[in-house]
Structure 1
Amino acid sequence: MQAVQTEATHRRERMDKVTIERIECFRFDRESARLLLPDSTVKDCCGILMLGSATGELGIGVFRECALKGDFIRWACAFQGFKHHTVGEGLLEASLKHDVWGDVRSLAAENALRELAAGRTAAPDEPLFVSLHDHAYCFEHAQAYVIF
Structure 2
Amino acid sequence: LRDLIKRFAPNLLPANMALNIFTQVGQALYYAHQQNIIHRDLKPENILFNAQGEALLADFGIATTLSTASIKYVTIIGTPAYMAPEQFQSSVSKESDQYSLGCIGYELFTGKRPFTATNFFAMGFDHLNKLPIAPTQHR
Task: Give TM-score scaled by structure 1 length.
Answer: 0.27
Task: Give TM-score scaled by structure 2 length.
Answer: 0.29
The structure where strand makes up a greater share of residues is 1
Tell which has more relative contact order, 1 or 2 (C-alpha 8 A, sep 6+): 1
